[in-house]
Amino acid sequence: MSERETWATRAGFILAAVGSAVGLGNIWQFPFKTAQFGGASFLIVYLIAALGIGLPTILAEFVIGRKSNLNTISAFEKLGYKNWRIVGALGLFTGFWILSYYSVVGGWVLRYLGGSVTGAYFGAPAEYFGQISAGMDALVLHAVFMALVIGIVAAGIEDGIEKATKLMVPSIVVILGALAIFAFTLPGASEGYAYFLSPNFDALASNFGEIVPFAVGQAFFSLSLGMGAMITYASYIDGDESLFGDGITIVFLNSFVGILAGLVVIPLLFAQGIDPNTSGAGAVFISVAGAFGSLPAGRIIGVVFFAVVLIAALSSAISLLEVVVAWAIDNYDVSRPQVATLLGGIIFLLGVPSALDTAWLGWFDTLAYKFFLPVGVLGILVFAAWVYGAPAIDELMKGSGLGEGVGLTWLWLARTLVIVAVVVTLALGFQTLFLGENPAIIPPL
């Protein structure tokens, strides 16, 4: 078997990981929830969740990946814990699961990119969304999006993912920055900022029980944690640079892009007098899209905006496909382009229900968010902090130049607070999944 691939540079690894993290979660969920949950006061809660819970978890994944230099299943065996491959296997399954519907949404973005050029959705954004979000249109564009993802992953780590994300991540920051400056010039922008960021401790206090699990869940999803994406990416690291430094950089950039996205979309909505109190699909594809229809330079701004959303979605989607491709390449004598195509094709098929009916898409998303990802995070944390333990600290500290205290702090945070936070998040999710009148676990048949 040929030698395993590696990143060409440390920056290449960091940018690929940021590319994975920065995605639809940052653009279509984060700004709206921030505004709704108390602006700047929510931001503080989120940053605490990202640093206190997301960072220790991303470090746990990095340790497993860099130490083993293997995919998310084989890694556990290599470290001497064969039975823990079950955690990796769950991650692999979750990779198939999430990418299947993430790609359908990627297809919508492609469609809106075209729609911005022709102005197709300008008159009636809600009707347009209804037409293109489910059915034949959605299916075809889901296929196109998957083909793009397969193309990048097939080209390999250095020549595919690293080259692509090196271009994509800086473009996301620059384009969003330019759009934020444009939004700043619009009348009504200042009310937008006030709505987005002004601290509202009452809103925070009265919804605290809902906000904390949301902040934790968002930190996990947004940092691509819980299914081995970061294990897989870290497995291609060649060298002993500070994992700790890399982790902080990624958490910081990921939060920064979320805030930047808010500085684009929220003033835009205010300038057009559109109610920003929506979230999820309707927010980006109906409200924001609607704003372009009434802006003077709406076509250009729309094209640029959906281009940046497409880049963000693509650079996340490739990390999901890479998790399953890495597993196949490490274990079987197959070529990368072949498995990328085969496994990408299976993922496409799994996404067909989501492309035909948005109720399926929502069901896949809910199960991922509330069940597969938190269970995966829990497994990874228990393994890294309780089972693997001391060698994990050694791996974490290697090349970091930091004292032993940092490693011990990580270990005990991961062993206690972080695990408790995940268990609470899971428990709350279980309520919506299994209890009540409409348990979310029941598929929309």
With CB under 6 A as the contact rule, the residue among 161, 229, 291, 329 that binds ligand TRP is 229
Tell me the number of residues near ligand TRP by CB under 6 A.
Answer: 17
Q: Does 255 bind ligand TRP (CB under 6 A)?
A: no
Residue 126 phi, psi dihedral angles, 5° rounding: -70, -40
Q: How many Å apart are CA 164 and CA 153, to the nearest integer? A: 10
Q: Does 218 bind ligand TRP (CB under 6 A)?
A: no
Instruction: Work out how close the CB of 232 gets to ligand TRP at its nearest, in angstroms, rounded to a whole number.
Output: 10
Type of residue numbered 437: E
Only one residue has tokens 């109610």, namely 275
**244-278 burial code (b ≥16 CB/10 A, e <16):** bebbebbbebbbebbbbbbbbbbbbbbbbebebeb
Contact partners, residue 140, CB within 8 Å, separation at least 6? 107
Sketch the per residue contact string, 55 through 94, with ligand TRP: x for CB under 6 A, - otherwise: ----------------------------------------
Asked whether the beta carbons of 393 and 400 are under 8 A apart, the reply is: no
Token pair for 45 = 């809660």
Return the residues of window 337-376 that contact ligand TRP according to CB under 6 A: 373
Q: How many Å apart are CA 216 and CA 275, to the nearest integer? A: 26
Q: How many Å apart are CA 193 and CA 188, to the nearest integer? A: 9
Asked whether the beta carbons of 385 and 392 are under 8 A apart, the reply is: yes
Instruction: Work out how close the CB of 254 gets to ligand TRP at its nearest, in angstroms, rounded to a whole number.
Output: 8
Instruction: Work out how close the CB of 364 gets to ligand TRP at its nearest, in angstroms, rounded to a whole number.
Output: 13
Q: How many Å apart are CA 20 and CA 76, to the nearest integer? A: 22
Q: Does 21 bind ligand TRP (CB under 6 A)?
A: yes
Instruction: Work out how close the CB of 271 gets to ligand TRP at its nearest, in angstroms, rounded to a whole number.
Output: 26
Give the binding range for ligand TRP (CB under 6 A) out of 19-27, 182-190, 288-296, 343-351.
Answer: 19-27
Contact partners, residue 194, CB within 8 Å, separation at least 6? none
With CB under 6 A as the contact rule, the residue among 200, 224, 232, 255 that binds ligand TRP is 224
Instruction: Work out how close the CB of 169 gets to ligand TRP at its nearest, in angstroms, rounded to a whole number.
Output: 13
Give the binding range for ligand TRP (CB under 6 A) out of 168-176, 225-233, 281-289, 336-344.
Answer: 225-233
Instruction: Answer positive or negative: Cα dihedral of 152, 157, 163, 169.
Output: positive
Instruction: Work out how close the CB of 150 gets to ligand TRP at its nearest, in angstroms, rounded to a whole number.
Output: 16
Q: Does 319 bind ligand TRP (CB under 6 A)?
A: yes
Q: For the chain, how big is the Rg over CA atoms in Å?
A: 21
With CB under 6 A as the contact rule, the residue among 15, 16, 26, 108 that binds ligand TRP is 26
Instruction: Work out how close the CB of 321 gets to ligand TRP at its nearest, in angstroms, rounded to a whole number.
Output: 10
CB nearer to ligand TRP: pick between 316 and 358:
316
Q: Does 211 bind ligand TRP (CB under 6 A)?
A: no
Chain residues binding ligand TRP by CB under 6 A are 20-21, 23-26, 98, 221-222, 224, 226-227, 229, 316, 319-320, 373
